[in-house]
Amino acid sequence: MNPHFFPCAGSRALHAPTRREFVYGLGASLGSVALTSLLASEAQAPLAPKAQQVPAKAKRCIFLMMEGGPSHIDTFDPKPALEKLHLKEFVREGKQKSAMESGKRYYVKSPFKFAQHGHSGAWMSEPWKHLSTVADDLCFFRGCQVDSVNHPTAMYQMNCGNRFGGDPAIGAWVTYGLGSVNQDLPGFVVLPEISYPQGGSANWSNGYLPAQFQGTPLRPKGSPILDLQPPPGISAEHQRANLDLLAQLNTKHAETHPWHDELQARMHNYELAFRMQTQVPETLDLSKEDEKTKAMYGIGSGATDAFGRKCLLARKLVEKGVRFVQLYAGTWDSHDYIERAHGNLIHQVDQPIAALIKDLKQRGLLDDTLIVWCGEFGRTPDNGVRGGTAYGRDHNPKAMTIWLAGGGCKAGHTIGSTDDRGMEAVEEVHHVRNLHITLLRLLGLDDNKLTFYHAGRFKQLSQFGGQVIEKLIA
């Protein structure tokens, strides 16, 4: 018996064992040998591939995050009614008058013309010159709603399911549920802007999941990962010997503190960093791509170069077995000059995104790669008077457009709708938790089964459950 748990003769009574202590106190039993072996194998390969929980086409995900809230009214959800309401006072009831007279809020028409594309007749604004060529590969969803009008809290909710941060990102949940094919690269990779999005790195946090499931950000300029390569004169053999010694010391410590998973995560990260020294430089090297491919992504062409590199890198990463890649582009927070602001942003991402879809398709990867395009919320059909032509839009959590491609989504369809002014979703209306559940389902994961015990209960991405949006699934 363990004297820590039961008092010895003549000693002062010790505390009764907690459940955790009791379980770990069984360490000497034969039954625990198999459990210990299992836990050890999981610690050595926490990102090992796992079977899907439910049948699904998608095996990996590329998440295109348009930070700042792109306007659905000026991208994929035309509102002809705003033509007649342009610069009329924004009121829900009663008479409307010119905002130039009242100085109050006013309706704003879209500065862009719209047209339908493909056999599906998908609506897109004029600046989408390249994405329109793959219209039939897209599934548009106009029924999503979120809870917050503030950027950081809305970003957290879209990325993590919780407005207040601290929870695992969807990429962390996916790698926790499915593991990763390539053990020499992170399972969840993030390609941010130079300036991190509002809310910072908590947008790709592991939250209460083990630390190895957090997103690994790659720097957009300079070395993608700082200090990846060893100092001059340090050979791979020297590094291996140092890691082996460190592993021996850490293993001894872990044996006496088996409930501290942070140490196991740190040991795993040391080993992963060592293996990444050979995989990462080759994977991130775009110079070996042929010139035709780079030109297709808009690399070397000014405005499209930066996001084109991200999209091409995303293709290379998923091709190498990375499970979840998230790309950031922004900011789309156009409170004024929306024609110029949104026009420039669309130009930056249009060609690279279309190229990504075509490239995955010609390589036979689109069918089992889920692509998601979204922001944290949509925008309103009105804005405050700013004078001149500086028209813009405010934040709108009740209406937005999200589109999916590949991965078993219902391509060539538009699901849901907003009212005639674009203020609120009115058909196939779903909270963002249902979108999350649907994305997990497309990836072969069941939100009710993909749980983690924390703070006294089993937690999940949706927070407390919801429903699959069946109309988004082919």
Are 1 and 127 in a shared domain? no
Is it the case that residue 70 has pLDDT exceeding 90? yes
Q: What is the mean pLDDT of residues 2-7?
A: 37
Q: What is the mean pLDDT of residues 80-97?
A: 78
Are 210 and 344 in a shared domain? yes
Name the residue range of residue 22's domain: 1-29
Are 141 and 101 in a shared domain? yes
Residue 220 maps to a domain: yes
pLDDT class of 4 with cuts at 50, 70, 90: very low
**pLDDT score, position 148:** 96
Is it the case that residue 59 has pLDDT exceeding 70? yes
d(CA 348, CA 245) in angstroms, rounded, equals 49
**pLDDT score, position 41:** 45
Is it the case that residue 339 has pLDDT exceeding 90? yes
Residue 277 maps to a domain: no
Residue 147 maps to a domain: yes
Residue 282 maps to a domain: no
**pLDDT score, position 202:** 97
Is it the case that residue 403 has pLDDT exceeding 60? yes
d(CA 423, CA 380) in angstroms, rounded, equals 6
Residue 94 maps to a domain: yes
Tokens found for residue 302: 């000014």
DSSP notation for 104-136? S-EE---SS-EEEETTTTEEEETT-TTGGGGGG
Is it the case that residue 96 has pLDDT exceeding 60? no
Nearest-CA neighbor of 432 among 392, 398, 386, 394?
398
**pLDDT score, position 11:** 40
Are 155 and 71 in a shared domain? yes
Is it the case that residue 209 has pLDDT exceeding 70? yes
The whole-chain average pLDDT of the chain stands at 85
Are 310 and 175 in a shared domain? yes
What are the two backbone dihedrals, phi and then psi, of residue 61, each rounded to the nearest 5 degrees?
-140, 140
**pLDDT score, position 330:** 85
Dihedral, 416, 431, 169, 149 alpha carbons, nearest 10: 100
**pLDDT score, position 87:** 87
Are 308 and 187 in a shared domain? yes
Is it the case that residue 203 has pLDDT exceeding 90? yes
Residue 463 zone, left/alpha/beta (φ > 0; ψ -120 to 50; rest): left
pLDDT class of 8 with cuts at 50, 70, 90: very low
Are 21 and 158 in a shared domain? no
d(CA 126, CA 149) in angstroms, rounded, equals 27
Number of domains composing the chain: 2
Are 178 and 102 in a shared domain? yes
**Between residues 285 and 169, the one the model is more confident about:** 169
Are 183 and 222 in a shared domain? yes
d(CA 307, CA 298) in angstroms, rounded, equals 8
pLDDT class of 197 with cuts at 50, 70, 90: very high
**pLDDT score, position 242:** 63
**Between residues 369 and 225, the one the model is more confident about:** 369
**pLDDT score, position 211:** 87
**pLDDT score, position 100:** 46
pLDDT class of 175 with cuts at 50, 70, 90: very high
Q: What is the mean pLDDT of residues 246-273?
A: 66
Q: What is the mean pLDDT of residues 133-162?
A: 98
Residue 35 maps to a domain: no
**pLDDT score, position 23:** 44
Are 24 and 78 in a shared domain? no
Are 105 and 181 in a shared domain? yes
Eight-state DSSP code of residue 456: T
CATH, residue 70 = 3.40.720.10
Residue 52 maps to a domain: no
Is it the case that residue 50 has pLDDT exceeding 60? yes
**pLDDT score, position 116:** 98
Are 20 and 161 in a shared domain? no
Q: What is the mean pLDDT of residues 354-371?
A: 98
Taking the mean position of all CA atoms in its chain, how far away is CA 94? 42
In Å, how far are 167, 440, 458 from 448, measured between CA atoms?
A: 16, 10, 10
Residue 72 maps to a domain: yes
**pLDDT score, position 452:** 97
